[in-house]
Structure 1
Amino acid sequence: MWLLSFILPILRLYLVGVKVLLYQLFNKSFTLPVLPKQNGRVAIVTGGARGMGYETARHLASLGMHVVIAGNSEEDGLQAVKKIHEEGSEGKVEFLFLDLCSLKSVRQFVQRFKARALPLHVLVNNAGIMLVPEGKTEDGFELHFGLNYLGHFLLTNLLLDKLKRSGRHDACSRVVTMSSATHYVGRLNMEDLQGRSCYSAHGAYSQSKLALVLFTYHLQEKLTAAGFPVTSNAVDPGMVDTDLYNNLCIPAQAAKKPVAKMLFRTPAEGASTAILAAIASQLEGVGGCYFYNGERAKSADITYDHNVRAELWKQSCALVGLQEA
């Protein structure tokens, strides 16, 4: 029984990977259209120092946006800021420290950002880890669930007041959250969200990406019900050649290298749909959607279950110490 519960998540995840690669073999990557200038608007991009996060921050800044790169490496963050500035970007770019493995750090980041008295028009929840060895966050949460999901859950909720005040009904603020196709095979165990009974890195990663889609939809439901000018969407970047794959097992690493050159998206291609969701005029006022390769797509059936979404939200509030509004 234990062996089966360990192997099944691996098989499910790699099967999804094969399906995505087949899609990418026969379909070109989405190309961004000409996007409107973003002068005077402010964005936060988590994990914005490298990979897709860097490409997202770079593109937003090129359109005149003031971008705050949020990350846990000051060296990488400052280097990213320097590179973007050297490109002659029209917008301002800066780095603020944020460790999503620490709820204290999330709260400190929000305090520092709010002390700047800036508006906030776009929040891109991009940072993530994949298939890391079993471990805990500073607060004792399983790493994938804690960093990928709970850290972003708390961050978004603490910044909601800024987003609400910065948005208008003809120019909504936007929350864009990076999920992945692995959410389709994620299993959400409400009695054991942290996978204590039988740890599987593959299962934990898939669950965290499923939780992000459920969170995205429930957030939109709450925003719509209250009439706030904020939209919330999830994005699937496809399989992208980034450092996320560094934790694959040795045989998978060896197989990945030649496949990645032929079939994986580049970080810029992977970031394109998130950029579209963040600022495209045609998506003004559009929320509660799952976007893949520049288009709306259907997410897993469970993500449309209001009761599941509400229960996850309730438990997440309790875990991070928020009062459920």
Structure 2
Amino acid sequence: MKERSVAEASFVFVGGSAGIGLAAATAVARRGASVLLVGRDRARGEQAARALREAGAREAAWVQADVSSVAGVAQAAERIRASRRVIHGLVHSAMTVRFRRATTADGFELAFGLQYLARYALNRALVGELAASGDGRIVHVGGRAPAGLLPDLEDLQIERRRWSLLRALMSSQVLGYLHVQEAARRWHGLPVTASIACVGMTKTLNAMSGPWWVRALYRLAGTTPERSAENVVRLLTAADARDAHGAVLFDPKRFTPTRLSYDAALARRTWELSEGLVRERGLSFAPG
């Protein structure tokens, strides 16, 4: 695959101090890019930034932010802008695996708040900096949701239905699909692409800190973060990513974008509902 030069480019990785995010960040660091990591754990973040500099990053830094809340997203956006006026790539890899229902500081179901709403809000907040690069790439690290699965917009917090980890994770994935599809429509005239790179079972810190049976399963069937990050890196470095705009890459072993084609009204309604939830908690955006 023909690559664009990223030696002078700047990339932001949310959740990039470990796992798939760090693997992708290391790949662009080796190409001489500038990298900014966003995360909660200072020791892990600073250690990761040092490793990126050693790998060849033109510059690597870490900023502290907890994007599981809307206030945390606003703080992250402010700190990112203070460090990067132009962004060539924004990667979302922060994920959670909780085997019991948990909520964010805003009262949102955790998977919804962290793996969907935070991504929606940060993309909206930073689209100007991405467009300023002339070729900004947004990449969501996600999972493959079952065909035909649709979110219940009347029960986003999974309060009326029985909560399960699988239901929460799959719902957040489909909401992410709808966001990327609608972003492609709304940002059609901007030099920004939005895509989803699906990954399978990966030996991340989250997975390997689960119950014994989860650890055993991932040791047996899981792949490395570096293998799972391959399509993320391709989306960031491809010479031309336009075919991946508004698309999902289902197979982590192949670069085959599939254009998202959910009901347009559902995608539009999801966007508007998400904007309302974020606005209620004090974060607003320019129209778009």
Q: TM-score, normalised by structure 2?
A: 0.89
Counterpart mapping for 1:10-21 below 5 A: none
Distance 1:283 1:112 in 2: 27
The residue number in structure 2 matching 1:138 is: 105
Counterpart mapping for 1:1-325 below 5 A: 35-87=3-55, 89-116=56-83, 118-167=85-134, 172-182=135-145, 184=147, 186-197=149-160, 198-224=162-188, 227-246=189-208, 250-254=212-216, 256-260=217-221, 264-284=222-242, 286-291=244-249, 292=251, 293-298=253-258, 304-321=262-279, 322=284, 325=288
Which letter maps to 1:164?
Answer: A
Distance 1:258 1:58 in 2: 23
Shift of 1:200: 1.4
State whether residues 33 and 59 of structure 2, in contact with CA within 8 Å, keep that contact through their aligned partners in structure 1.
yes
Which letter maps to 1:220?
Answer: A
Distance 1:67 1:186 in 2: 35
Distance 1:304 1:193 in 2: 18
Residues 105 and 50 of structure 1: is their aligned pair in 2 closer, same or farther, counting only changes over 3 Å?
A: same
Shift of 1:319: 0.8
1:231-283 deviation line (CA, Å, top 9, x unaligned): 111111222221332475554444x05523xxx32110100101101121142
Residues 272 and 50 of structure 1: is their aligned pair in 2 closer, same or farther, counting only changes over 3 Å?
A: same
Q: Secondary structure of the equivalent of 1:290?
A: strand
Residues 306 and 65 of structure 1: is their aligned pair in 2 closer, same or farther, counting only changes over 3 Å?
A: same
Residues 206 and 249 of structure 1: is their aligned pair in 2 closer, same or farther, counting only changes over 3 Å?
A: farther
Residues 81 and 117 of structure 1: is their aligned pair in 2 closer, same or farther, counting only changes over 3 Å?
A: closer
1:168-220 deviation line (CA, Å, top 9, x unaligned): xxxx2111111211354754111001101222121001111111111111101
State whether residues 131 and 205 of structure 1, in contact with CA within 8 Å, keep that contact through their aligned partners in structure 2.
no
Which letter maps to 1:232?
Answer: A
1:57-86 deviation line (CA, Å, top 9, x unaligned): 111111111110111111110011112223
Distance 1:47 1:234 in 2: 16
Distance 1:258 1:176 in 2: 27
State whether residues 38 and 64 of structure 2, in contact with CA within 8 Å, keep that contact through their aligned partners in structure 1.
yes
Distance 1:209 1:268 in 2: 21
**Whose Rg is larger?**
1
Structural RMSD (CA): 2.2
Q: Secondary structure of the equivalent of 1:304?
A: coil
Which letter maps to 2:123?
Answer: T
Which letter maps to 1:142?
Answer: E
Tell me the percent identity.
25
The residue number in structure 2 matching 1:23 is: none
Q: TM-score, normalised by structure 1?
A: 0.80
Q: Secondary structure of the equivalent of 1:145?
A: helix
Considering fraction of residues, name the structure with more helix: 1
Unaligned 5+ segments in structure 2 are none
Distance 2:68 2:127 in 1: 20
Distance 2:264 2:99 in 1: 31
Number of matched pairs: 280
Shift of 1:46: 0.9
Q: Secondary structure of the equivalent of 1:182?
A: coil
